[in-house]
């Protein structure tokens, strides 16, 4: 039986010129995102004829603000969404929360409710728009690390023009729980662009190989010093 997924959202006012872009994949995987045809109103829906009933999904919804008549030229922030998983695959005692108020590029997140020996995957998802407002380039960079886990770093494409460019990048940390809690450190920075056009979601997406969805909003910042493409 196919899985039909419905995503409810609050539409923009005024509505974007080309509706909303919907992308999805099976939650907790490294699969490429499937992009559906643009939708024009809430709710957005898609049908998956391949995966079994009860599959968990994750993805993004973006407004398509192109004025050229060709979708994808200018898109809004990539807003993450996820379906609730069934009790077997989705139940967890883990929590993740920002350790202190946002104050720029660097932020720390506290994980609690764990079991020593568990192997968990924490993913940072940094997305939005870049628009060079100074300097010689604009780019987004994302770094994640944990005292009990692996580090990871990634970057968006680099641009030297002043047009708007959408981006979405992820970085993962694989953590082996030593106690019932640990921490995760993240740096999410847009270079020579306004950080107000970007957002960060920090999520525990896997515990011992089973998908979960425990998320919190994160901190982003801007840098206007040094570097180039």
78 and 26 fall within a common domain: yes
How far is residue 52 CA from its own chain's centroid?
Answer: 25
Whether residue 113 is found in the same domain as residue 218: yes
Tell me the per-residue pLDDT of 78-102, one tens digit each, with 9 for 90 and over: 888 888 664 444 468 899 999 998 8
Q: How many domains does the chain have?
A: 2
Mean pLDDT, the chain, whole residue set: 87
Q: Strands, DSSP E only, in 12-113?
A: 20-26, 34-35, 44-48, 57-63, 79-82, 95-98, 106-112
Residue 69 and residue 122 share a domain: no
More confident residue, 9 or 210: 210
Can you give the pLDDT at residue 73? 66
| Residue 1: band (very low, low, confident or very high) from pLDDT cuts 50, 70, 90 | low
Q: Does 60 lie in the same domain as 146?
A: no
Whether residue 170 sits in one domain with residue 186: yes
pLDDT (0 to 100) of residue 108: 97
The pLDDT of residue 88 is: 43
pLDDT at 87: 41
Partners of 2 in beta bridges = none
- Do 216 and 115 have their domain in common? yes
Residue 208 and residue 116 in one domain: yes
Are residues 64 and 98 part of one domain?
no
- The answer on pLDDT for 188 being more than 90 is yes
Q: Which two tokens stand for residue 150?
A: 């692996």
Is there a single domain that holds both residue 60 and residue 106?
no
Give a yes or no: residue 229 inside a domain.
no
Predicted confidence at residue 120, as pLDDT, reads 96
Condensed to tens digits (0 to 9), the pLDDT of residues 121-163 reads 999 999 989 999 989 999 999 999 999 999 999 999 999 999 9
Query: CATH number, domain at 215?
Result: 2.60.120
CATH of the domain at 55: 2.60.40.10
Say if residue 119 is in the same domain as residue 162. yes
Domain range for 33 is 3-84
């Amino acid at each position: 039986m196919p899985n039909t997924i419905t995503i409810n959202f609050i539409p923009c006012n005024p509505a974007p010129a080309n509706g909303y872009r919907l992308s999805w994949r099976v939650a907790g995987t490294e699969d490429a995102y499937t992009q559906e045809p643009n939708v024009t109103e809430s709710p957005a829906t898609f049908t998956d004829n391949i995966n079994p009933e009860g599959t968990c999904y994750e993805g993004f919804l973006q407004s398509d603000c192109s004025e050229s008549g060709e979708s994808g030229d200018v898109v809004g922030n990539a807003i993450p969404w996820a379906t609730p998983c069934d009790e077997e695959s989705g139940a967890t005692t883990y929590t993740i929360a920002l350790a202190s108020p946002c104050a720029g590029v660097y932020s720390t997140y506290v994980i609690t409710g764990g079991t020593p020996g568990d192997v968990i995957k924490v993913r940072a998802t940094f997305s939005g728009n870049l628009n060079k407002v100074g300097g010689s380039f604009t780019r987004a960079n994302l770094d994640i690390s944990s005292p009990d886990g692996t580090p990871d770093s990634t970057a968006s494409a680099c641009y030297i023009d002043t047009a708007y460019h959408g981006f979405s990048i992820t970085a993962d940390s694989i953590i082996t729980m030593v106690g019932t809690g640990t921490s995760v450190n993240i740096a999410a920075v847009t270079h020579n662009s306004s950080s107000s056009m970007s957002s960060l979601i920090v999520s525990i997406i896997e515990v011992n190989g089973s998908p979960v969805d425990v998320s919190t909003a994160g901190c982003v910042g801007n840098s206007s010093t040094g570097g180039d493409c």
